[in-house]
């Protein structure tokens, strides 16, 4: 794997200053959207939401793994190969890239060099192709971009960022790279600092907040869960429909209103394992939770904010979450219960 970005020919088009994702997807000459990491936790739901909004053919899903997709264009794409990104952008006439391919927090601590190469190297490749081909770029940052030196309660939009994890280091570097490409080259870069994300559509990908997804699956299937964080570990969380909507709304926002760009604090709720377990018990009274603390993930969580201030996102592009803890819990349990019932029905032999 190389972390040297590919530079296409010197006569690429000037970069756009308005996100092409904001343009209606009608007519044959309108640019497409490319999603990298489309098989991941965010990517699965983002691709579906983008296609619902702009049309199936307008969104190209890509990942290192083959994607079973009958609804629109899809390809295997290794983002460490800048020439492959460039070919995909030219072939599909892409105007906006949602770059989601990354190594998440807990896995990044196990393989820090690989995390650096993927999280920074692939982003540089995407930014270089975007610079030459006139693409807008969304790439997510994280609450992991803060460190123990930042205020943990009410963490401001602009504050010290000195993370102590490789994941956090790559996220801070990514924010600065995106700002650099916007300021120096005019690339329309935008991003959000995601909190912990909870989804029913895709399995967790190796993050510190994975417990908040696993707990629902175990509650439905087994009625109990063993958590790797302390009961009182508070972190910001968000339900995936809100996270996906935030990405799309930011890319559609009027660029003249954006003072920050890379990247906006956003949040929806503050959750602890004990609080989440209590919310589940309102629907499944017999649910039990136990604790077996993972010191690595606990240390990561203890370095992150317990509540971030997302007033800049609310003011600059109208961010507003729709799901609180109660609404998210009810929806997660309903969807996973239906899926579990369907799996049991499919396994039962015919009468």
Choose the weakest-confidence range: 57-61, 88-92, 104-108, 333-337. Answer: 104-108
SS3 of 166, please?
Answer: helix
Q: Which of 148, 12, 195, 6 is nearest to 83 (CA)?
A: 6
| 130, 157, 174, 201: CA torsion to nearest 10 | -80
Burial of 5 (0-12, 13-18, 19+ CB in 10 A): middle
pLDDT tier for residue 343 given thresholds of 50, 70 and 90: low
What's the confidence (pLDDT) of residue 347?
Answer: 57
Higher pLDDT pick, 105 / 247: 247
What predicted TM-score, i.e. pTM, was given to this entire model?
A: 0.86
| Helices (H) then strands (E): counts for the chain | 12, 16
Q: How would CATH label the architecture of 198-238+268-308+322-339?
A: Alpha-Beta Complex (3.90)
Quote the pLDDT of residue 348.
Answer: 56
For 350, list phi and psi in degrees, rounded to 5.
-65, 145
Write down the catalytic residue from 54, 98, 167, 239.
167
Which sign does the torsion angle of CA 124, 128, 133, 134 carry? Answer: positive
| Residue 98 annotated in active site | no
Give me the CATH topology for the region 31-195+240-265: Rossmann fold (3.40.50)
- Segments making up each domain of the chain, as ranges: 31-195+240-265, 198-238+268-308+322-339
Alpha-helical segments (H) within the chain: 41-54, 82-92, 105-110, 112-116, 122-133, 166-185, 211-221, 240-252, 273-281, 295-302, 311-317, 325-347
């Amino acid at each position: 794997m190389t972390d040297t970005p590919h530079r296409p020919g010197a006569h690429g088009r000037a970069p756009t200053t308005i996100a092409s994702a904001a343009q209606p997807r009608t007519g044959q000459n309108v640019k497409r959207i490319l999603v990298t990491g489309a098989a991941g936790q965010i990517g699965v739901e983002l691709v579906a939401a983008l296609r619902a909004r702009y049309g199936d053919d307008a969104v190209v899903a890509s990942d290192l793994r083959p994607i079973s997709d009958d609804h629109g264009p899809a390809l295997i794409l290794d983002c460490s190969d800048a020439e492959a990104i460039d070919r995909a952008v030219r072939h599909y006439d892409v105007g906006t890239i949602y770059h989601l391919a990354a190594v998440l927090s807990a896995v990044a601590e196990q393989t820090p060099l690989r995390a650096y190469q993927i999280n920074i190297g692939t982003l540089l490749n995407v930014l270089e192709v975007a610079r030459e081909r006139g693409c807008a770029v969304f790439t997510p940052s994280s609450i992991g971009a803060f460190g123990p030196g930042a205020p943990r309660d009410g963490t401001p939009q602009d504050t010290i960022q000195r993370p102590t994890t490789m994941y956090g280091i790559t996220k801070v570097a990514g924010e600065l790279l995106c700002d650099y490409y916007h300021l120096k080259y005019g690339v329309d870069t935008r991003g959000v600092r995601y909190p912990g994300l909870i989804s029913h559509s895709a399995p967790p990908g190796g993050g510190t907040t994975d417990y908040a997804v696993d707990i629902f699956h175990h509650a439905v299937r087994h009625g109990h869960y063993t958590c790797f964080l302390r009961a009182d570990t508070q972190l910001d969380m968000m339900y995936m429909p809100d996270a996906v909507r935030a990405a799309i709304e930011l890319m559609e926002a009027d660029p003249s209103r954006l003072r920050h760009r890379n990247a906006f604090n956003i949040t929806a709720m503050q959750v602890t394992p004990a609080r989440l377990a209590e919310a589940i018990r309102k629907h499944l009274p017999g649910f039990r939770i136990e604790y077996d603390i993972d010191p690595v993930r606990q240390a990561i969580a203890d370095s992150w904010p317990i509540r971030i201030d997302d007033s800049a996102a609310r003011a600059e592009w109208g961010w507003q979450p729709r799901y609180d803890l109660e609404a998210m819990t009810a929806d997660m349990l309903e969807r996973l219960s239906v899926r579990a019932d369907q799996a049991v029905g499919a396994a039962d032999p015919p009468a």
